[in-house]
Structure 1
Amino acid sequence: MKWIYIFLFALFAYFTNANQKGFREFPQNVSKIIGSDVLLRCSAYPSGTEHDLHSQWRSNTGALLGFRHSGVLPGHGGRYSYVRDSPDELHLKIEKLELDDDGQFECQMVRQEIGPLRATAVINIIIPPTEVILTNYKEGTVLELQEDSTLNISCYSPNAKPSPKISWFLNGKIVNNQVSNWEEYNPNKTVVAFSTLTLRPTKSEHNKMLTCESLHNETGTRLRTSVTLHVLYSSERPKIDVVGGLSNVKAGQNVTLICSAKGGNPPPNLSWYINDRPISTQYSYDFSNQ
């Protein structure tokens, strides 16, 4: 008799629709974080006859887990077990979910007066990202760049499921322009998320922090990696001031002239020339007003 029931289940596995009127409780699709536990519930309405209900589950690989009562099932590292509190139910419990558990499972039941019953449920394994990596730079690197030069910088966040969202921030403000995002899918259904930013830094972005962020909405996981921009730029055109504001001086009169230039990274070196001949000078740099 046992082999007859196995044959019936194998036959009905080819059907896309099955009689589901006898089900009292259907297994439900579920999304679970890797490493957690799940219970797929399945039960039929009690029968008023003396006919027994024969139940089993089919795994996501298509393997039949067998007709058993409650208890741990063979294989799968002892993580699969049947839970059964009455003859009309057979729940499948999976502990410490692994990526290999991702997919469709099927509850199969048969009773003489109602025939075969089938109901499916999908387990969607969620895997948070564990890192976000800059492609060509180390975390915390100081990037020395000329003003208005082009910086192409990339980062990626590997082996998550589903894909995380990658964003760029400059000193905490999101950057939307010149950003390109794409994904690559692994055979095991995990995803590697990539992003490239093209930036032309200005002097206002000197000493600003550039951050790549990987955000996994399904788990709330947020990972960041950053570099600091060190922007090199020239100073403004130098100017000369006469101390005291004198516009006319007499021969032999002492005059103090001040040459100054604002800005510049690194600070400019100032020199004096008379008729294109350099003269000895002293200068200082005022960091308070650049």
Structure 2
Amino acid sequence: METPSAASCRRRPLKPPLLLCLLLFALCPQPGLGLYTVNTVYGDTIILPCRIEVPDDLMFGKWKYEIANKAPVFIAFRSATKKSVHYDDVPEYKDRLSLSENYTLSITNARISDEKRFVCMLVTEDNVFEEPTIVKVFKQPSPPTFVNKAEFLETEQLKMLGECISKEGYPEGNLTWYRNEKVLQPVEGVVVINEQTNVDKASGLYTVISSLEYMPTKEDTNAYFTCTITYPGPKRQETIRSESRVFNIHYPTEKVKIQVVSQRNTIKEGDNITLKCSGNGNPPPEEFLFYIPGELEPIKSSSIHILSDVRRNATGEYGCSLTDKSLTDSTLITVHYLDLSLTPSGEVIKQIGEALPVSCTVSSSRNATLFWLKDNTRMRSSPSFSNLQYKDAGNYICETTLQEVAGLKKRQTLTLIVEGKPQIKMSKKTSTDGTFKTISCHVEGYPKPAVLWTATGTGILTNKTEETKYVDGKFSSKIIIAPEENVTLTCTAENPLERTVTSLNVSAINIPESDEPDERNNDNRENVNDQAKLIVGIVVGLLLAALVAGVAYWLYMKKSKDFNGESEKEAAQNIQNLPRTASKHVDKDLGNLEENKKLEENNHKSEA
């Protein structure tokens, strides 16, 4: 609202004395004026338009500024008739002013001291016109930063967290503290905030400082604190946020914990046990007492204690505590073990037919799985030897494992050797076309016997000796022969235990004979057959039989006188059953089936 004196000065016609009227107008107080405001940024150029329409009879225009309770100060003058510009000698505006033809005033390098009410005056011969403008200057403060930050905070203690400072702003801004994005409100004894504002006398800029005292809890671990500066801007309020800060919160240990550090879930004999004791305080405790089974006194150590190459007697309860023994914890440790005993073990040599008791026993910390392998093949059951055979020989492994303990297994080995003297069976077979015969010598024994073939008589060996695979102490050796006359073949089998010999008569290929296998069992005596001696023996036997028959016939005839006709007839039949002469049998029927069987029967006779 304008004052009456100001209104009268503005509206009455300009008449002499003009200078007196101008002086009175300049000195008139102007409360309530200056509603138009120009907002500018600190350091920029202030543009003040003269918001009065320039009259046609304008004589000159002037700018002044007004400060409460002080006389106005003229700073610029421009003549409308002479087209000249004059700047008053005002030190703070020296070389900073510029007045355009439309009476717009420019002030470079805006300062805080430029916050005034500036008035544009246009003067005609009859009147004086003026319009005030308020200048507001704004300066963005520096981003808020933490200073005097605490290295750590302790629970149950009110301590200076730090200070937040923002410099060189205008107008004065407000600092606000945040915890995890929530505003911190003052709480007596827990949250204490103190604010301080400093003004630079030369520039008029504000520095704002806010300190925060804070009593933390364990929940403040990893909480982040920030502060913001809120300040007026040319258009609206602005806010700048500081970087967040996390503070190290110290709190006492409330619980200790003991752990077994291991790559596996279980421990076996020979392993190392690493014990780790920890407390939940911050900073964590650095020393502990460890309680070891079998130790009378606890062992003082850092948070790690190692036991090397543990045995089964290390099984027990382990514990740890703070050095003042106020807080403790314990854990049970089991050291797993596995023992295996095999009887007998190693290399064992037995004779065929003997018995061999075998036992494999396990002692362990848990139920163990036991199984047998023979020559790397898993067996269905444990071996039992009441009557050893060659097939029983081999490499036996008794193995046991603890399934829940990785890497814990044991094995023992039994290498069984079954020895036996050579045993021989011979067989023969004639080919379907009757051109050759296959003679086989079936041999049992260990160590493997060496086989030698010999023959008496003449014959043609159509190929070399062949042997089958040696399996379970058995193999066969065979030859193929085409004899032109009767032949005796001898198979000799020999190993370090004994030498065994068996012979077989083979008739010429033109003499039919049975193809039934002829097997010979040798009772470990050496048999040597001589074909010539055998034939002589047969002839002598036949002669003796004829002699006995003659004597019997003489006795019969002598007694026949005492018998009736039926007795004579019976005596005649006995004479007819007598054998033929030996020479005729040997010379003509040597190769027939009956004689061949007699030769084979004589294979069982031994000869020195």
Q: TM-score surpassing 0.5? A: yes
Percent identical among aligned pairs is 20
Deviations 1:147-169 (A, max 9, x none): 22212233332331111221222
Deviations 1:176-216 (A, max 9, x none): 33334454555554333232222111222234433333233
Deviation at 1:83, TM superposition (A): 1.6
Give the match for residue 222 of structure 1. 240
Give the match for residue 298 of structure 2. 278
Letter paired with 2:224? M
Give the match for residue 55 of structure 1. 61
Whether contact under 8 Å (1:236, 1:261) holds in the other structure is no
1:14 aligns with 2:23: no
1:101 aligns with 2:110: no
Rounded to whole Å, the distance in 2 between the matches of 1:72 and 1:148 is 71
Letter paired with 1:118? E
Deviation at 1:261, TM superposition (A): 5.5
Deviation at 1:123, TM superposition (A): 0.7
Letter paired with 1:166? L
Deviation at 1:226, TM superposition (A): 5.3
Deviates more, 1:227-236 or 1:208-217: 208-217
Decide whether aligned partners of structure 1 residues 241 and 43 sit closer, same or farther in structure 2, where only a CA change above 3 A counts.
closer
Rounded to whole Å, the distance in 2 between the matches of 1:200 and 1:216 is 29
Give the match for residue 164 of structure 1. 173
Rounded to whole Å, the distance in 2 between the matches of 1:239 and 1:134 is 38
Deviations 1:81-134 (A, max 9, x none): 11224xxxx221223322232211111222233x33332221111111125354
Whether contact under 8 Å (1:72, 1:80) holds in the other structure is no
Give the match for residue 251 of structure 1. none
Q: 2:98 aligns with which of 81, 95, 102?
A: 81
Give the match for residue 252 of structure 1. none
Rounded to whole Å, the distance in 2 between the matches of 1:160 and 1:281 is 57
Letter paired with 2:154? Q
Decide whether aligned partners of structure 1 residues 189 and 239 sit closer, same or farther in structure 2, where only a CA change above 3 A counts.
closer
1:265 aligns with 2:282: yes
Deviations 1:213-261 (A, max 9, x none): 323341636252554411111222336799xxxxxxxxxxxxx9x8965
Match of 2:283, SS?
coil
1:116 aligns with 2:136: no
Rounded to whole Å, the distance in 1 between the matches of 2:142 and 2:296 is 63
Match of 1:119, SS?
strand
Moved over 6 A (4+): 239-242
Give the match for residue 211 of structure 2. 196
Rounded to whole Å, the distance in 1 between the matches of 2:20 and 2:239 is 47
Rounded to whole Å, the distance in 2 between the matches of 1:276 and 1:127 is 75
Rounded to whole Å, the distance in 1 between the matches of 2:156 and 2:106 is 60
Residues 177-196 of structure 1 aligned to structure 2 (within 5 Å): 177=186, 178=191, 179-185=193-199, 187=201, 189-196=204-211
Give the match for residue 237 of structure 1. 255
Letter paired with 2:61? S
Letter paired with 1:200? M
Match of 2:58, SS?
coil
Rounded to whole Å, the distance in 2 between the matches of 1:259 and 1:59 is 80
Deviation at 1:28, TM superposition (A): 2.5
Letter paired with 1:10? L
Letter paired with 2:299? I
Rounded to whole Å, the distance in 1 between the matches of 2:163 and 2:296 is 49
Rounded to whole Å, the distance in 1 between the matches of 2:29 and 2:239 is 38
Residue segments in structure 2 that go unaligned for 5+ positions in a row: 1-16, 261-272, 306-608
Rounded to whole Å, the distance in 1 between the matches of 2:110 and 2:95 is 12
TM norm structure 1: 0.69
Letter paired with 1:164? G
Decide whether aligned partners of structure 1 residues 241 and 213 sit closer, same or farther in structure 2, where only a CA change above 3 A counts.
closer
Decide whether aligned partners of structure 1 residues 8 and 277 sit closer, same or farther in structure 2, where only a CA change above 3 A counts.
farther
Deviation at 1:71, TM superposition (A): 6.3
Q: 1:213 aligns with which of 228, 247, 258?
A: 228
Q: Name the structure where helix makes up a greater proportion of residues.
A: 2
Give the match for residue 409 of structure 2. none
Rounded to whole Å, the distance in 2 between the matches of 1:39 and 1:280 is 80
Whether contact under 8 Å (1:28, 1:41) holds in the other structure is no
Rounded to whole Å, the distance in 1 between the matches of 2:296 and 2:176 is 53
Taking CA–CA contacts closer than 8 Å with sequence separation of 6 or more, which of the two structures ends up with the larger relative contact order?
1
Larger Rg belongs to: 2
Match of 1:64, SS?
strand
Rounded to whole Å, the distance in 1 between the matches of 2:124 and 2:112 is 34
Deviation at 1:72, TM superposition (A): 8.5
Root mean square deviation, CA, Å: 4.0
Deviation at 1:74, TM superposition (A): 6.5
TM norm structure 2: 0.36
